[in-house]
Amino acid sequence: MNYLSKYLVEEAAAITFSAQNLDDREVSKALELLDCCSKNNLKLIVSGVGKSGIVARKIAATFSSVGLTSIYLNPLDALHGDIGIVNNNDLCLLLSNSGETSELLEMIPHLKTRDTKCIALTGNINSTLAKNCNVFLSTKVEKEICPLNLAPTASTTVSMAIGDALASAWMDRNSISSEEFAYNHPGGSLGRKLTITVEDVMLRRENFSSLEEKSSVIDIISQMTLNGIGCCWIQNSKKEFSFGGIITDGDLRRTLEKTDANLWEKLKAKDLMTNNPITIKPDVMAIDALNLMEKNEKKPINVIPVLSGGKEFLGFLRLHDLIQRGL
């Protein structure tokens, strides 16, 4: 085993040790406090100093990203005015491996005056921090993976893992959906996949004139040349914007190839069109539309008509536009 793998295995073992030694009753109380916090629209305040402060920032960011309002509070800044961000009955998660970090301990009396409940993440059950909090979650490790057993390594990993586990358990207990998750992730690839619909990407019908079933080949070619997407749509004569079918440049080529050139001028749109093509609705997620178009049994679909529930033509969706969006 190489050096890197050796220390990774030791860190993993520290997390396993922590999981096996957490008190079930304390875990239940912590999750109940988190549920109470979210149901009453309260905040989770996460605080720590040094390496624990860095872990605290990550935990706060994780909770905020999954839907529980959470902020990091620097204990020193808290004692000089920033504690004003803590409202009555907010929940605090306090991190200190030793449980004796002075800046953190000095903050506790001022939190209690605001009727806050506190969860301690510490490696020392007999510490001042553990004794002054409502809930104690042990981050104790047998040893740091640092060769000197000094640098915060395994202990900070365990603290971060417990933070992740708390957030994941809260999500599970509150049935957080992918739509709710997406609400807090509007940007980047993840946000695009979870929030963009067909309606956001499609080319709207205002850009495309319709043809009739009796339209000629010249009309079809002219319309395809004009709209520049390699297809055109046929309107059902019974109702305005009612979708009757689609003609692609492939339909046009295949029909002309198998038809005597002397008969081309007699061809009408009804002879070329597909009246029951694959279509899609505007409220479908764009990523699902991409999968539909790319994984079509015969070959990828380059352009697909977008129809309302009542078969009204709304526009076209192009594979090219979906890919350009970074889906």
CB 157: neighbour CB atoms within 10 A? 21
In the chain, count H helices and then E strands: 15, 10
Is 316:231 a contact under the CB 8 Å cutoff? yes
pLDDT computed for residue 239 by the predictor: 80
Angle, helix 24-39 to helix 154-173, in steps of 10 degrees: 60
pLDDT at 275: 86
- Tens digit of pLDDT for each residue in 16-43? 999 999 999 999 999 999 999 999 999 9
Alpha carbons within 13 angstroms on the beta-carbon side of residue 125 total 8
**Which tens digits make up the pLDDT trace of 67-99?**
999 999 999 999 999 999 999 999 999 999 999
Mean pLDDT rounded to a whole number for the chain: 91
Domains and CATH numbers, the chain: 3-176 (3.40.50.10490), 198-324 (3.10.580.10)
Structure tokens at 208: 């495309």
Token digits of residue 271? 């002879």
Rounded to two decimals, what is the model's pTM? 0.70
Q: Which residues pair with 245 in a beta bridge?
A: 234
Average pLDDT over residues 279-286: 93
- pLDDT-based confidence at residue 245 (cuts at 50, 70, 90): very high
pLDDT of 186 over the 80 cut:
no
pLDDT band per the 50, 70, 90 thresholds, residue 111 = very high
Q: How far apart are CA 310 and CA 124, in angstroms?
A: 66
